Amino acid sequence: MVKIETKRLILREFDDEDWVSVHAYASDPEVSKYMEWGPNTEKETRNFVKGARHFRREDPRRHYEMAIYHKEDKRLVGGCGLTIFDPALRQAALGYTLHRSYWNQGIASEAAASMIRYGFEELGLHRIHASCDVLNIGSAAVMKKCGMRKEGHFLEERMIKGQWRDTFLYAILSSEWRAKQVLKNLKSEQGSGEEK
């Protein structure tokens, strides 16, 4: 079972009883405003959690759908995951959703960055991409904060709530991510007064 810990969060596999916490955000029209799904019914949320649990048994595993657990508040506040479409190509799509009361606190960025790290370090991925509605500036900000670069603007690429919507595509390569980690470490060493 996968478990990823950060300063404020634990990303862990979903449990059956998590559906109640998931439904608290998945049924919120504001949370699902730019998504192809939602707002969810209870049945849809239960099915999502059931599906996320089923992914553990994949061989080879291609879906890593993780619950975002807030350590200090002791509650599940969202979900974050990677979907590997073709294991031979070592590429994955990143996705995340967060309870509205946790927006604008860096939680989504912290969770997404930890999944990107997991994808490159543990899964040996070559490329990770993510996309969002062009009006979803919060999601685009998460991608930028995680070091992803904008690769495209797709016109009327998704049908959301009965309307064709444009999307932005962001991505990061393993080599880019590793270079950013080296720079981060160098800045950290320089800031601590260590010799260069």
**Residue 182 one-letter amino acid:** V
**CB 191: neighbour CB atoms within 10 A?**
8
Strand-by-strand arrangement of the 63-70 sheet: 3-5, 9-13, 63-70, 75-86, 91-98, 127-133, 163-173, 149-160
pLDDT at 183: 83
The three-class DSSP label of residue 55 is helix
- Of residues 125, 123, 115, the one with CA closest to residue 147: 115
Residue 62, pLDDT score: 96
CATH fold of 3-191: Aminopeptidase (3.40.630)
Residue-level pLDDT, tens digit, the chain, 196 residues: 899 999 999 999 999 999 999 999 999 999 999 999 999 999 999 999 999 999 999 999 999 999 999 999 999 999 999 999 989 999 999 999 999 999 999 999 999 999 999 999 999 999 999 999 999 999 999 999 999 999 999 999 999 999 999 999 999 999 999 999 988 888 777 776 554 4
pLDDT computed for residue 38 by the predictor:
96
CA angle 122, 149, 4 (to 5 degrees): 25
DSSP 111: H
Residue with tokens 């930028």: 144
Cα 97 to chain centroid distance, Å, stands at: 7
What's the token pair of residue 61?
A: 């595993």
What's the Cα-to-Cα distance from 94 to each of 25, 65, 146, 182, 195, rounded to whole Å?
Answer: 19, 10, 11, 23, 37
Query: Which H or E element spans position 69?
Result: strand 63-70
Task: Please report, for the chain, the start and end positions of each structural domain, with discontinuous segments joined by +.
Answer: 3-191
Phi, psi of 120 (to 5 degrees): -80, -45
Residue 117: what are its φ and ψ, rounded to 5°?
Answer: -60, -45
